[in-house]
Amino acid sequence: MSSFVVVRDVWKIYDMDGVRVEALRGASFDVEKGEFLGVVGPSGSGKSTLLHIIGGLDKPTKGEVVVEEVKINELSDEELSDYRNKIVGFVFQMFYLIPRFTALQNVEMPLIARGVPREERRKRALEALEMVGLGDRAFHKPNQLSGGEQQRVAIARAIVGKPKLLLADEPTGNLDSESAKSVMEVFKKLNREYGLTIILVTHNLELVWYCNRVIRLADGRVKKIYKIGEYEEMLSSMLGRR
């Protein structure tokens, strides 16, 4: 039986005003169901590009991405929208909440796209907010919430559609350490209690302790894959290089 996520020889080449930029250069790895995978690497190593490709926001120039035995790179735009709506959930560094809507309405958004009836989606959105500890902030607008709370609303939005894969791109990048910790605790709970597969992209090396496995990217390639117990070696290697 194949892995839940299979990334095979993925290349992403951009043409930036005539300059060829290779964001990914043959990245390959697998992710098992229920795994909490960290992806670390310096800026420009291709972490976010990789996440966008796995999440169906972007297409690889070459290579193959298979999620739950479906080749993502072969899906049409319409199918990719469905994939983003039903299979994956995104959490971004900038939260990306829509300011004019309340926390509850922001969380309802993926269900609106899916055509879920109003009452049901409201119930599910409230459940998702309660799951991230914000049941009492449902009717607040983003500007009435702290950064940590906004990110937890974004997590609630990502999980409200019961996705199979959660993709987090620098989710603590804009948060203070306390808020970052509370957000990471939510990820941990989702992974441990609900068995949600998570891929976390970060350059914050302190977060690797939440992960079952860590991929180190450099120059668009998978430099090395670390298992629990090998993180000290990775940290000393990476910090040593700095």
Partner 1 sequence: MKFSDYTFLALASLKERRGRTLGAVLGVIIAVVALSLALGVGESFQIAFREQMEKTLAANSIYIFSSIGLTEADLAYYRNIYEVEDAFGITFETIKLVDPSGVKTVTLVAIEPKWLPEFLGVTSLEDLIEEGSYEMSGLGVIVGSDVWKDPQTGQKLRNVGETLTVQVSVGKAKQITFYIIGLAKETGGIRGPGMNPDNSIYVEPEAFFTYIAKRRVYNLVVVVAKDSRYVSNVEKEVRALSPPHARVFSPAAMINQVSIFVTALQTILGVVSSVGIGVTALWVFDSMTISVIQRTREIGILKAIGFKSRDILLLFLMEAAVISIIGSISGVAIAMFLSSLVRIPVFGYTLKATITPSITLLSIALPILANLVASLLPARRAASLDPVRALRYE
Please report, as ranges, the residues that interact with partner 1 according to CB under 8 A.
52, 55, 57-58, 77-78, 81-82, 84-86, 90, 92, 96, 98, 100-101, 109-110, 112-115, 118, 157-158, 161
Which residues are within 8 A (CB) of 95 and not within 5 positions of it... i.e. 6 or more apart?
Answer: 142, 147, 150, 151, 153, 154, 174
In the complex, the smallest distance separating the C-beta of residue 76 from partner 1, rounded to whole angstroms, is: 11
Count of CB atoms within 10 A of residue 132's CB?
26
Give rounded-to-5 percent helix, strand, coil for the chain: 40, 25, 30
Nearer to partner 1, 58 or 64 (CB): 58
Nearer to partner 1, 113 or 218 (CB): 113
In the complex, the smallest distance separating the C-beta of residue 236 from partner 1, rounded to whole angstroms, is: 34
Nearer to partner 1, 113 or 235 (CB): 113
In the complex, the smallest distance separating the C-beta of residue 29 from partner 1, rounded to whole angstroms, is: 21
Nearer to partner 1, 75 or 235 (CB): 75
In the complex, the smallest distance separating the C-beta of residue 240 from partner 1, rounded to whole angstroms, is: 32
d(CA 107, CA 100) in angstroms, rounded, equals: 13
Q: At what angle do helices 103-114 and 147-159 cross, to 10 degrees?
A: 20
